Amino acid sequence: MTEAADVRLRKGVEMLFDRVCPGGGWNAGNGVVNGTPLTPHADVTSLALLALIPQRDHPFVKRSLDWLQHQIEPTHSLYSLPWMAVALAAHREAISSILEKLIGLYSERGLNRDCQTLALTRLALQMADGANPF
């Protein structure tokens, strides 16, 4: 990797850490605006955690993984749940409860979903079987 690319990667990591929400996780922007902490979102948090795999021991990453684990029960989105599974699996966390929930939701709602959601679900299931694209 070139020195310029390394500098850009470090700046990207610093930017993600700068924008983490106080309780863990990320949303689509800053973690705090005008002194008000913003609510993190499971899908955005999952994406940030995927980018931060090399920093898995950082306190922000650990806190965000914990936050994401606590979002499994209240999340019912067929789009967010597979993102959560992919991120947690990439960080070597258990994802069986997410997969069980996904299977139940697909049983209730059917498979007529957009291509992106189905592809994410497939990726999550592959990761549960040991595949790791990261």
* pLDDT for residue 46 is more than 90: yes
Percent of the chain scored above 90 by pLDDT? 90
Token duo for residue 98: 């997410």
Q: Please, which residues have CB within 8 angstroms of residue 134's CB and are 6 or more apart in sequence?
A: 50, 53, 90
Query: pTM for the full model?
Result: 0.92
Delimit the domains of the chain by residue range: 3-128
As a whole number, mean pLDDT of residues 58-79 equals 97
pLDDT in the model for residue 132: 79
Amino acid symbol at 130: G
Query: How many helices (H) does the chain have, and how many strands (E)?
Result: 6, 2
The tens digit of pLDDT for each residue in 15-32 reads 999 999 999 999 999 999
The pLDDT of 30-52, averaged and rounded, is 96
Residue-by-residue DSSP string for 26-76: --SS-SEETTEEPPP-HHHHHHHHHHTGGGTTSHHHHHHHHHHHTTTTT--
pLDDT confidence tier of residue 126, bands split at 50, 70 and 90: very high
